[in-house]
Amino acid sequence: MANDPLVRLLIVDDEVALMNALCNTLKEQGYHTVGFSSGGAALEAVSAAGFDLILSDLMMPEMNGITLLQAALQRDPDLVGIIMTGEGTIATAVEAMKSGALDYILKPFKLSAILPVLERALAVRRLRLKNAALERQVRERTAQLEAINHELESFSYSVSHDLRTPVRHIAGYADMLIRSDPSLSPQGQRYLSQISNAAARMGQLIDDLLEFSRMGRTEMRQTSVDLEQLCAGVIRDLAPETEGRNIMWKKANLPTVLGDPALLRQVLQNLLLNAVKYTRPRSLAEIEIGCSEQTPKEIICFVRDNGVGFDMNFAKKLFGVFQRLHRAEEFEGTGVGLANVRRIVSRHGGRTWAEAELGSGATFYFTLPRSNPKSVDLK
């Protein structure tokens, strides 16, 4: 820092000879120095020119060093200050520190004592400037994110109104044609039915896209969540999907975690709904929800099924938006559910992954923080 020509030192001492000697000595060390024997003149220089550090004598007749430093910091808060004193008392040092000085040096002093103090003070200044720059960047980034969120909300509004309306019209008129025109050939009815189904699928894609968009902006309300109770509620809610099915539910003792209950419900709902869907070809569906590993800070939960599974070569696509590993003719869906699972778990600070074998079921894993790591008994 001493070799940086931009480092400007303001030296103030009513003993002119000492002030000049200090200016010349520190100039030889690579600093740019400006000296004054009057506190008032030095204060005017602070306003007129930028300095990095002010090195001021404590006892001066017109304005003492503490008063000068306080006034200088009001004009340039980025300054760092060091007080020179011949008194050497602890009280003087404390008073100087309270005034905003970073350090003090005792007279008479040697160059070997001054240089380390200067370097420490200038290092603090650099750190302060970096922190200030980071804070500005954070504020700018926050403003940008707020603008992006506003644009996303506008986009969501546009999607929900401007796109959904024509899709509903397409589906509605196709259904009306099927019902109102008995002269349509079987082929014509099939075409209209395909149009209606495609419009319905498009409407579902729009709804899922909106849900995925909202998921990243939903405010999290973290609290202790009993996964056992949450899972039981989700299974009850899936009753319309499981009616008439032969499903064996296996639930281990699920722990309590730290998270947003509503968002974690969506995680379990998406994973269990997937398990219900992809075990449909099985005469006996086996779906297991449990905890495979527990550490003092997090748990690893899983949902395992004996369904159709998938090829692990395509596992990287699983959690992407609109990514599907099965044809729509085989299993319905838009490919947004698992993307929402990953987004929610990531917002909780967790991870998601899956393991499977084609034709032999799949296991989906996710990690969550514990609600109270210190009080949990790991068995």
CATH number at residue 48: 3.40.50.2300
Do 232 and 208 lie in one domain? The reply is no
Do 285 and 204 lie in one domain? The reply is no
Closest among 185, 187, 189 to 174, alpha carbons compared: 189
Query: What does the alpha-carbon distance between residue 293 and residue 86 come to, in Å, rounded to a whole number?
Result: 66
Residue at 1 is within a domain: no
Do 229 and 337 lie in one domain? The reply is yes
State percent of the chain over pLDDT 70: 84
pLDDT by residue (tens digit) across 268-277? 988 998 888 8
**Between β-strands 298-305 and 285-294, what pairing exists: parallel, antiparallel or unpaired?**
antiparallel
pLDDT by residue (tens digit) across 62-77? 888 888 888 888 888 8
Do 247 and 366 lie in one domain? The reply is yes
Position 302 pLDDT exceeds 90 = yes
Domain of residue 42: give its range.
8-109
Residue at 348 is within a domain: yes
Over range 308-328, report the average pLDDT: 68
Closest among 221, 232, 227 to 298, alpha carbons compared: 227
Do 236 and 366 lie in one domain? The reply is yes
Domain end, chosen from 190, 215, 240, is at 215
Which of 36-50, 72-86, 263-277, 331-345 is predicted least confidently? Answer: 331-345
The confidence score (pLDDT) of residue 134 equals 92
Residue at 116 is within a domain: no
Closest among 109, 49, 113 to 79, alpha carbons compared: 49
Does a cis peptide bond (omega within 30 degrees of 0) precede residue 182?
no
Residue at 44 is within a domain: yes
pLDDT, mean over the chain? 81
**Total domain count, the chain:** 3
pLDDT by residue (tens digit) across 147-160? 876 776 676 666 66
The confidence score (pLDDT) of residue 16 equals 92
Do 277 and 357 lie in one domain? The reply is yes
Position 214 pLDDT exceeds 80 = no
Do 54 and 172 lie in one domain? The reply is no
Query: What does the alpha-carbon distance between residue 126 and residue 144 come to, in Å, rounded to a whole number?
Result: 27
Domain end, chosen from 109, 128, 161, is at 109
Residue at 137 is within a domain: no
Do 255 and 327 lie in one domain? The reply is yes
pLDDT by residue (tens digit) across 242-269? 888 899 999 887 888 888 888 898 899 8
